[in-house]
């Protein structure tokens, strides 16, 4: 996912979210950062018992129920002080992006996104008098990008339109950046996390009466829902174009 930045010189957090992945690599100046060099690290999900073979005996890095907690802002526990995370200097108007990290179940480095779903990117400015590394991410977030469906059966952020899953998952990461140079404009629509997203809104939850069908996917007996993706209603405010 690549995004243009047209902002005043500010210290900001850039949040990106999609399903089933973490995005620890920041792309800017045509280079890729080291994992979690500029992106706040996330902690594994505490398990009531040792993780089993379904997850290769490793704890999951994220969980969808965090939509109702501060973890929704930047990932699990990423709202805590991040003294070890660097701040990237990015010129206003530059294009930045995120790359997926290693899969938490197999330690495989993916180059593309296999699981379908929408993607969102938000920005928020740290409060005056607070160091970015010490900020808990609680503030006004405005949406700067949205990647949605490109057809009734295919999302923009996926490699294949073959199938969909029957549950919602949210995987969020934030990069710390200092944006400098000429820019301007102020968004009038903001979101707060938690608060703006509700678990039962159409953009985040499949209706209980949605019609199921069995997809014929080789090696995946996946249960999906009817492909009516163009009617998808993204949650939160509209995209600010600057």
Q: What is the CATH number of the domain that holds 30?
A: 2.70.50.70
Helices (H) and strands (E) in the chain, counts: 1, 13
User: What's the number of domains the chain is made of?
Assistant: 1
- Average pLDDT, stretch 51-80? 67
Q: For residues 4 and 19, what is the distance between their CA atoms, to the nearest angstrom?
A: 22
The torsion angle over the Cα atoms of residues 114, 115, 119 and 121, rounded to 10 degrees, is: -70
89, part of any domain: yes
- Average pLDDT, stretch 85-99? 90
Closest CA to 114 of 98, 100, 124: 100
48, part of any domain: yes
In terms of residue numbers, what domain contains 212? 18-241
154, part of any domain: yes
212, part of any domain: yes
pLDDT at residue 6 greater than cutoff 60: no
What would the pLDDT profile of 180-222 be if each residue is shown by its tens digit?
Answer: 888 777 888 999 999 998 877 878 776 555 544 444 444 444 4
Whether the Cβ atoms of residue 12 and residue 177 lie closer than 8 Å to each other = yes
230, part of any domain: yes
- Average pLDDT, stretch 82-93? 90
pTM: 0.78
């Amino acid at each position: 996912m690549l995004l243009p930045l047209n902002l005043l010189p500010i210290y900001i957090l850039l949040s990106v979210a999609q399903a089933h992945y973490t995005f620890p690599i920041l792309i800017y100046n045509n280079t890729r950062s080291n994992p979690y060099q500029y992106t706040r690290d996330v902690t594994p999900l505490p398990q009531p018992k040792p993780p089993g073979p379904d997850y290769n005996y490793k704890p999951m890095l994220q969980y969808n129920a965090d939509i109702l907690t501060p973890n929704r802002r930047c990932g699990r526990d990423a709202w805590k002080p991040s003294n070890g995370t660097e701040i990237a200097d990015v010129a206003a108007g530059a294009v930045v992006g995120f790359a997926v990290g290693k899969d938490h179940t197999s330690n495989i480095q993916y180059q593309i996104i296999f699981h379908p779903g929408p993607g969102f990117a938000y920005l928020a400015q740290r409060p005056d008098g607070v160091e970015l590394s010490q900020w808990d991410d609680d503030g006004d977030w405005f949406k700067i990008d949205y990647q949605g469906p490109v057809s009734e059966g295919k999302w923009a952020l996926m490699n294949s339109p073959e199938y969909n899953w029957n549950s919602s998952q949210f995987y969020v990461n934030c990069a710390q950046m200092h944006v400098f140079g000429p820019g301007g404009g102020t968004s009038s629509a903001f979101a707060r996390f938690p608060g703006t997203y509700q678990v039962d809104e159409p953009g985040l939850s499949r209706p209980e009466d949605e019609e199921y069908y069995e997809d014929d996917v080789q090696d995946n007996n996946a249960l999906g829902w009817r492909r009516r993706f163009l009617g998808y209603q993204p949650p939160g405010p509209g995209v600010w174009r600057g």
